[in-house]
Structure 1
Amino acid sequence: MKKSAEIKRLPIINIAEGVELGRVKSLVINPEKGSVDFLTIEHEDWQVSVKAIPFKKVVGIGEYAVTVENENAVIDLNEIPIANQLVNKKIKINDTRVMTRKGQLIGEITEYYVDDENGSVLGLELKVKDEMVILQSEFVLTYGKDIIIVKEDSLNHMKKDISQLDDGVIDAHDEAAAASEKAVTPEDQLAEIKSRQFQLLLGKKVTKDIQESNGDVVIPGGTILSEEHIQSAQEAGPSVFVDLTMSIEA
């Protein structure tokens, strides 16, 4: 398992000839599969076309390099329509906001974890309030360009540590947390979600005017969000609040 940041900028080594083919420039996400399907290559001689390696052609991802059998693993994305379409979708995951299916904002992704054997996205690292938590990829419904949509009960399945990501055993701490969650009312959960929304948006700059359906401006563009601004957007309705969450500087 690797962080995306641990893969980017790694040299790509051709095993057959022992030469460097370039460096990993970016990870191309397949939003339907929830996986990394291609690694794009940064090379000073390839300025016109975009070269990449299908993840299935990767032999291994080590601490110091990505290895492939030979240079035939490299493809031109412009010649592979499906690969080109994935690149143009621009799914980046990192720095993307996370929202539940019913429109509750949870947090923002700071990193994600990849299975270095098959490219599957295993989990997401989120900043929720001032705390970093891990969410397993099985709770993701949609990988979008601007927003990642997760299941409604995702808040109850956050992990404190990456070591718990693929751990199917519930330890004493998890059992205690589960027991505590049973006592939490829907009203408590809603209050917690709203608190997290405040923490995520507070102090951020709005990139455009946030308007109600009748055209009235709720929050002018350029505003640095205060608690009063966020509360006004929440009171104006779900569509206004979602518009606000998608119109702030990262």
Structure 2
Amino acid sequence: MYRASELKNKPIITYDEGEVIYRVDDTVFDPKTHEIIAIVAESGTVLADAKVIPFARIKAIGPDAVTVKDKDAIIEVAKDSKIGQLMSKENVVMGKKIMTEDGKDLGEIDDILFRENDGKVDGFVVTGGLFADAYRGKPFLPISEISKVGGDVVFVPNDTVNLIEENKGGLKELWEKTKQRTESYAHEAKSATAEIGRKVQKTTSQYTKGDKGKDLENQAKDTWSKVKNTASELWGRAGSEVEERRVKAAVGRPVTRVIYDQDDNIILNTGDIITHEAIRRARKEGSLDVLLNSVYKDEPDLSKEEMRAKKDEYKRKR
């Protein structure tokens, strides 16, 4: 996972000639698809003069540089209206206030965390507000908690506050528990391994190949297995909690794309309302993540009658 701020000033190098052509100036975030869709190579004195690299044209984002195939990867923002629109001030998320839907200030966005291989955004680093007290630092806010991105404010569900209070620090607390458990088991494993080393030094080669040596080796292996299993269990539990919150936020909203099962049968059509039955089918067919990433987050431009009609239509299809 990469922080958007870590890209700042990194050289942009062409693969064909190995030449530094620009340095990263900024990133462009799409709040609807939850992706970094471009890197800004040069801001320009006015927006129309800016030069950008669409994410699809990036060859690699490394620890020290961004590489592109050649100079043609750079385009003027005027040639891509979507990128240009997202670079306008009202669409930039950095520095925006984060508030619950009932108006509670939770801080502001300090950074964006994304995957360097595909640009998918996992969440935001938050500073100030309620989060500062709960975390004693800068916490991570999952993208799944975002219900709407406005011109000045990013909204999250009201129960985001409850999540923090219940977990005494939410995701950070969970991470700390995992870390402590892992360190404990790692220390145990290290001690067991050291014991094996001492036994080896004091005994013959034949002895270490015997049953007792094998027992010590097996103890070390078992301990390391505990490390992996405990970490996986805790993170799995965290993932399940986040997924259930995403499900609750999705039910009753339309989808922005067609959701298929593994046999290409339609679970939900574009614009269909997400129901609990659709969630169950998508989970069974391994399509739940696709469904949850396709939830329409803005307020649907539909009357109540139209919304009811869509729900009734879905029931008839079952």
The TM-score with structure 1 as length reference comes to 0.60
User: Which structure shows the higher helix fraction?
Assistant: 2
Q: Which runs of no fewer than 5 residues in structure 2 stay unpaired? A: 165-169, 177-230, 242-318
- Mapped to 2, the partners of 1:152 and 1:51 lie a distance apart of 39
> Shift of the alpha carbon at 1:48?
7.6
1:160 aligns to 2:172 (yes or no): yes
Which amino acid letter does the alignment assign opposite residue 16 of structure 1?
A: D
**Secondary structure at 1:170's aligned position in 2?**
helix
Shift of 1:135: 1.4
1:168, distance to aligned residue in structure 2 (A) = 7.6
Deviations, residues 107-160 of structure 1 (Å, cap 9, x unaligned): 222222111111121111223234222111111112333211112222316321
Query: Unaligned 5+ residue runs, structure 1?
Result: 179-250
Deviations 1:48-99 (A, max 9, x none): 8211000111111111100111112111111222221111254333322111
What is aligned with 2:141?
A: 135
Q: Residue by residue, what CA displacement relative to the aligned partner does 1:150-194 show, whole Å, maximum 9, x if unpaired?
A: 122223163217969xx98436997xxx9xxxxxxxxxxxxxxxx
String of CA shifts for 1:32-55, please: whole Å, max 9, x gaps: 1122111111389x9982110001
Show the 5 A alignment for 1:211-226: none
SS at match of 1:160: helix
* SS of aligned partner of 1:53: strand
The corresponding residue for 1:144 is 150
The answer to which of 10-19 and 153-162 deviates more is 153-162
> 5 Å matches for 1:17-32?
17-32=17-32
Paired residue type of 1:29: F
Question: 1:50 is matched by which residue type in structure 2?
Answer: A
Structure 1 range deviating more: 1-10 or 145-154: 145-154
What is the DSSP-based 3-state SS (H/G/I as helix, E as strand, rest coil) of the residue aligned with 2:113?
strand
Worse overlay, 20-29 or 123-132: 123-132
**Pairing 1:117–2:117 present:** yes
Structure 1 residues 120 and 171: CA distance shift in structure 2, 3 A: closer
Number of residue-to-residue matches in the alignment: 172
8 A Cα contact 2:174 2:234, kept in partner: no
Alignment correspondent of 1:14: 14
**Larger-gyration structure (1/2):** 2
Distance 1:41 1:162 in 2: 38
The answer to whether the 8 Å contact 2:2/2:113 transfers is yes
Partner of 2:300: none
Answer 1 or 2: which has greater strand percent.
1
1:182 is matched with none
CA root-mean-square deviation:
3.1
More displaced stretch, 129-138 vs 8-17: 129-138
After superposition, the Cα gap between the structure-2 partners of 1:138 and 1:73, relative to the gap in structure 1 and judged at 3 Å, is same
Corresponding residue of 2:93: 93
Whether contact under 8 Å (2:85, 2:91) holds in the other structure is no
- For residue 126 of structure 2, what is the amino acid of its counterpart? L
Which is bigger in relative contact order (C-alpha 8 A, separation at least 6)? 1
Equivalence map 1:160-179=2 (5 Å): 160=172, 169-170=233-234
Larger mean Cα displacement after TM superposition, 150-159 or 64-73: 150-159
Report the TM-score, using the length of structure 2 for normalisation: 0.48
